[in-house]
A and B are shown apart, each in its own frame.
Chain A
Amino acid sequence: MNMNYTAEELAFRNEVRAFLDEKLPADIAAKVKGFRRLTKDDHLRWQKILNAQGWYATHWPEEYGGVKWTPVQKHIWDEESCRYGVPRSIPFGVNMVAPVIIKFGNEEQKQRYLPRILSGEDWWCQGYSEPGAGSDLASLKTRAVREGDHYIVNGQKTWTTLGQHANMIFCLVRTNTEVKAQEGISFLLIDMDTPGITVRPIITLDGEHEVNEVFFEDVKVPVENLVGEEDKGWTYAKFLLTYERTGLAGIGMSKAALSHLKQLASRRIKNGRPLIEDPSFSQRIAKVEIDLTAAAISNLRIIASVEGGGVPGAESSMLKVKGTEIRQSINDLARRAIGPYAIPFVEEELDYEYDGDFLSDENAAPLTAQYFNNRKLSIFGGSNEIQKNIVSKMILGL
C-alpha cells in the first residue's frame, strides 16, 4: 500500500503548476472561479494555449497529436486545473468523437477531422438523445436512408449541449428498422451547415441557453461520413459512453466548489458572526467535506486499478452517483449560505465585465442559478438511476 505520488508524478505536478501559473489567462480563471459566463471565444482561446503545450488531447495516441498521460497524471491534471480555475473541457470533439474516429474511423476520416479538433477549427456537438430516446437510447428514431452516395437524414436530436456553437455533430441514426433496436444504428458525422438542419435553443430553468434541439429535414450526408460499418453504430456509441462516464464524478470540480463555499461562508454573517463559525452550518460543511474525502480516495483507487491500461468499468458508475450527489450538496449549501439573497436573480452580475455594485456578495448571483442548473448532474451522462442499474447488473449480478 502506497498512497503517495512517485517522484516522477510530483515532478509532473510541478510542471502542470508552472504551466498554469504562466499560461492560464487571469480573466478566464477569474470567470471560472467566480462562476461567471464563459464565451465561445474564451474556450477557444484556452484550447489554443493548451494545444500549443501539447496537452489538449490526453486520450489520443501520440501519432495524432495526443499526449500519453497515465491515469495518475490525468488525475493530477484534473485536480490542478480545477484548483486553478481552468475552464471545463468541452468534451464532444476531443474526448468523445475523436476516440471513436481513432478506433473505428478510416484513415481519411482521421486525417480530416483530428487536426481540426486539435486546432479548434471544428466545434463538435453530440447527437444522441431524442425526445423519445433518453435513458432508453437504443430506441432512437432519427432515420438515415441510403440514396446513392448519400444518406438522407430525418429526425430530431435533443439536449444538444452547446450545439449553438458547433459546426459539426456526430449522430446516432437508424439505418435498419428490420432488426432489433441496437443492431440497426449507425454513427454519422454531419456538417451543421448542411441544408435542412435547424438548431433551436432550449432555455433551462435558470434562464440559460446551454442545450438545444436539432432538427433534420431531408439532410444529405455523404456516405464517406459514416464511421465504421453501417448498423454497427451501437458498439461505437457504447465505446464512447465509457469515455463519457470517466470523469463525470467531478471530484476536482467538487474540491474547487467546496473551497469556494468555505470562503463564501467566511464572508457571510449570521447572528453577528461569520457563518462558517455557526455550529450547524459548519457541521453541514464538514459532512460534505468528509464525503468528498472518501469519494476522492475511491476515485484514486479506481485510477490506480487502471494504471496498467484500459478504461474503468462499472465502478465509475458508482462514483458518478456519489460524486454528483456530493457536488449537488455543495451547491445546496452555497445557496443556503446566502440566506434571503438566494431569491434575487441579478443576471448582469453573471457577466465578468459587470462593474456595478454587487447586491450582496460578489459571488452570490450565480449560486442559486448554479444550484438549479446542476440538478442536471444526476440526469446527464446516463442518469444516476441508469448508473445504478449498471452497477447492479455488472458488479452485483442482479
Chain B
Amino acid sequence: MDFRLNEEQQMLQDTVARLVRGEYSFEKRLEFSETDAGFSEAFWTQLSELGLTAVPFAEELGGFGGGGVEVQSVMTELGRGLCLEPYMQSVILGGGLIDHAGNDSQKERWLTGIASGELKAAVALQEPQSFYNLKDVATRAEKSGDGYVLNGRKAVVIGGHCADLILVSARTSGDSRDTDGISLFALSPELAGVERRTYPTIDGSKGCDITLNNVEVGADALLGGEGGAGEIIEYQSGRAIAAVCAEAVGVMEMANELTLDYLKQRKQFGVPIGKFQVLQHRMVDMMSELEQARSMAILAASVADAEQSDERRRILAAAKNVIGRSGQFISENGIQSHGGIGMTWEYNFAHYAKRLIMINHQLGDDDFHLERYAGLLQAS
C-alpha cells in the first residue's frame, strides 16, 4: 500500500503549484474576481498552454489520459490558490458529460476545444425547485421536426455567463424526479430564447440563471440517447464531486496554515495566543478535520473513474458529506481563532472561509449526501 503520488503525478501537482504561486497572489485574485468574467482569462490560457485543461482526456483528443488522482492533483493546487477559473465546470463536468454521452462528431466538435482550453463549457443541471437533486428536472424538451424546443429555467450555472457552450438537462419524457426521460443538450448561449441573468457569487466568482424560452435546437444538440442522460449525469457529477473534494482539501490546507501562523504571531496577554490551550485544542481539531477530509478526497479520487456501482455512489456521498462538515468546521473555527481580523475583506482568510462554505452548496451539501448514503446503507 502506498498513498504517495507517482513521479508523473507529483510533477503535475508541482507544475500547478508553481503556476498558482507565481500568478495567483491574493491581491491579483481580488482583481480577477472584479472583471466581467470573474476570473483570469490569461491564467486560463496559461493552464491550457501547460496542457492542464487536457488532463482528463484521451490522448487522441490531445489529452493526457489522466484519471481521478491526476485531477485531484490539479484541483488541490487550484484550491490552495482559491482560483476562480471554471476548471471543474468546463474540463471535468462539461468535458466529462460530452466524453461520456457524445458521439464522435460531437466530441470532435466540442471536446477538442475544451481540452485545448479554447472552448469553455458550463453545466446547467440544477433548477429553482431541484435543491440538489439533479433528477428533479422540470425543463422540457419537445420534439419538433428533426430537433427540439426547450423551455424551462436552470439555476446557479457557475461560469454560464461567459461560457461558449452550455450543457442543459431537460425532460423529454416522464415526471419530475424520474431517472428516465432526462436528456442532455449542448447549446450555444447565443441561441434565440436563451436569457441569462448574471450575478457575482459570495465566494468571488460569477454565474447566472438561465431561462430557456422556446429555444430551438437541432438533433445534433442531443448528447447521447433521448431520455437516457439521468445515469450519465449522476456518474459525471460523481467525478465532479471527487474534483471539488480535492479542491476543498487545498482550501482547507491554506486555511489551516493561515490560522496556525496567526496563532503563533498574534500576541495577547503578553504571549502568542497559540499558548492558550483552548486555541491549541481547536487547532488540533481543525487539523484532524483536514486529515479526515484528505482521506476522503483520496478515496473519492480512487473511484472517480471506476465503473458505476453502489460502492462508488456510497464513497462519493461519504466524501462530499465529510468535506462539507470539515469545511464548515475549519471555516467557522478558523474565523473564531482569528477574531475580527478573520472576518475582513482585506485579509485572505475570510475568502478561504467563504469558499469552504460555498463548496458545501455545490453538488449537494452534507445533509443531502448523508441522506444519499443512508439510502445506500448495506444491511450488514
Enumerate chain A interface residues (CB-CB to B < 8 A): 129, 132-136, 139, 158-159, 202-207, 211, 268-272, 275, 280-281, 284, 332, 335-336, 339-347, 359-360, 368-369, 371-373, 375-376, 378-380, 383-385, 388
Residues on B with beta carbons closer than 8 Å to the beta carbon of A135: 268-269, 339
Q: In the bound complex, do residue B268 and residue A344 qualify as a contact, i.e. CB atoms below 8 Å apart?
A: no
Q: A136-B268, A271-B136 are in contact. List 15 more A-B contacts (CB 8 A).
A: A134-B340, A202-B345, A204-B350, A205-B344, A207-B345, A335-B357, A340-B132, A340-B155, A341-B156, A342-B361, A343-B202, A371-B357, A375-B332, A379-B343, A385-B278
Within 8 A of A (CB), among B332-380: 332, 335-336, 339-340, 342-346, 350-351, 353-354, 357-358, 361-362, 365, 367, 370-371
In the assembly, what is the distance between CA of A339 and CA of B267, in Å?
39
Total of A-B residue pairs, C-beta within 8 Å = 137
For A132, A134, A384, which residue has the most chain B Cβ atoms within 10 angstroms? A134
**Interface check B10, CB cutoff 8 A:** no
Q: Would you list the 10 A-B pairs with minimal beta carbon distance, nearest first?
A: A205-B350, A136-B268, A203-B345, A345-B202, A340-B156, A270-B131, A342-B361, A339-B131, A269-B129, A344-B199
In the assembly, what is the distance between CA of A54 and CA of B332, in Å?
41
Residues on A with beta carbons closer than 8 Å to the beta carbon of B156: 340-341, 343-344
Q: Which of B158, B203, B340, B358 contacts A380 (CB 8 A)?
A: B340
Question: Which residue on A lies nearest to B201, using beta carbons?
Answer: A343
What class of interface size applies to chain B in its complex with A? 35 or more
Question: How would residues 143 to 183 of chain B score, 1 for a CB under 8 Å from any chain A CB and 0 otherwise?
Answer: 00000000000011010000000000000000011000000
Residues on B with beta carbons closer than 8 Å to the beta carbon of A136: 268-270
**Interface check B51, CB cutoff 8 A:** no
Decide: A139 near B199, CB < 8 A? Known: A343-B207, A380-B340: no
Enumerate chain B interface residues (CB-CB to A < 8 A): 126, 128-129, 131-133, 136, 155-156, 158, 176-177, 197, 199-203, 207, 209, 267-270, 276, 278-279, 328, 332, 335-336, 339-340, 342-346, 350-351, 353-354, 357-358, 361-362, 365, 367, 370-371
- A-side interface mostly: mixed
Decide: A344 near B207, CB < 8 A? Known: A139-B268, A271-B177, A339-B361: yes
How far, in Å, is B211 (CB) from chain A's closest CB? 11
How far, in Å, is B262 (CB) from chain A's closest CB? 12
Decide: A280 near B201, CB < 8 A? Known: A134-B340, A342-B358: no
How far, in Å, is A317 (CB) from chain B's closest CB? 15
Q: Which of B129, B133, B268, B362 contacts A134 (CB 8 A)?
A: B268
Residues on B with beta carbons closer than 8 Å to the beta carbon of A372: 202, 343, 350, 353-354, 357
Decide: A336 near B367, CB < 8 A? Known: A204-B344, A269-B129, A271-B131: yes
Q: Which of A158, A205, A271, A346 contacts B343 (CB 8 A)?
A: A205
Decide: A205 near B354, CB < 8 A? Known: A344-B156, A385-B278: yes
Decide: A345 near B199, CB < 8 A? Known: A203-B345, A375-B335, A385-B278: yes
Residues on B with beta carbons closer than 8 Å to the beta carbon of A385: 276, 278-279
Question: Which residue on A lies nearest to B332, using beta carbons?
Answer: A375
In the assembly, what is the distance between CA of A376 and CA of B332, in Å?
10
A sample of 8 cross-chain residue pairs with beta-carbon separation below 8 angstroms, ordered by A number, consists of A205-B351, A211-B340, A272-B129, A336-B365, A343-B362, A344-B200, A379-B335, A379-B343
Residues on B with beta carbons closer than 8 Å to the beta carbon of A373: 343
Q: In the bound complex, do residue B136 and residue A205 qualify as a contact, i.e. CB atoms below 8 Å apart?
A: no
How far, in Å, is A279 (CB) from chain B's closest CB? 9
Residues on B with beta carbons closer than 8 Å to the beta carbon of A336: 365, 367
Residues on B with beta carbons closer than 8 Å to the beta carbon of A359: 197, 199, 209
For B136, B340, B353, which residue has the most chain A Cβ atoms within 10 angstroms? B340
In the assembly, what is the distance between CA of A156 and CA of B270, in Å?
19
In the assembly, what is the distance between CA of A158 and CA of B339, in Å?
13
Q: Which of B136, B155, B339, B354 contacts A341 (CB 8 A)?
A: B155
In the assembly, what is the distance between CA of A153 and CA of B161, in Å?
52
Residues on B with beta carbons closer than 8 Å to the beta carbon of A159: 340
In the assembly, what is the distance between CA of A280 and CA of B133, in Å?
15
Q: Which of B133, B336, B361 contacts A375 (CB 8 A)?
A: B336
In the assembly, what is the distance between CA of A159 and CA of B342, in Å?
12
